[in-house]
Amino acid sequence: MRYEFILVEHIPDVARSAFPELEESTVATGTTGSVMYGDVVDAPHLHGILDRFQDLGFTLLELRRLPD
């Protein structure tokens, strides 16, 4: 499954290393936040990504499952 994570904040380069399974989108969203996407293996993996966002102080604005 592929997911897209839209965040309020911009993720600095140093924090991107905490999300090796995600890529950052280059599409402009009209905000200063970040859009990241990538493959998610299962529900525990998804929750782990969400936990990492929270642990690093990032605010998730929207989560979308992308078409396969």
Residue 57 pLDDT > 90: yes
The predicted pLDDT at position 59 comes to 94
Alpha-carbon span 53 to 2, nearest angstrom: 17
Q: Does pTM top 0.85 for this prediction?
A: yes
Residue 44 pLDDT > 90: yes
Radius of gyration of the chain (CA): 11
- Tell which residue, 57, 18, 44, has the closest CA to residue 36: 18
The predicted pLDDT at position 1 comes to 94
Residue 55 pLDDT > 80: yes
Q: Which domains does the chain have, with CATH numbers?
A: 2-66 (3.30.70)
- Answer for the pair 11, 24: CB distance below 8 angstroms, yes or no: yes
Alpha-carbon span 36 to 52, nearest angstrom: 13
pLDDT digits (tens, 9 = 90+) for 8-31: 988 998 999 999 999 998 666 566
Q: Which residues contact 44 (CB under 8 A, 6 or more apart)?
A: none
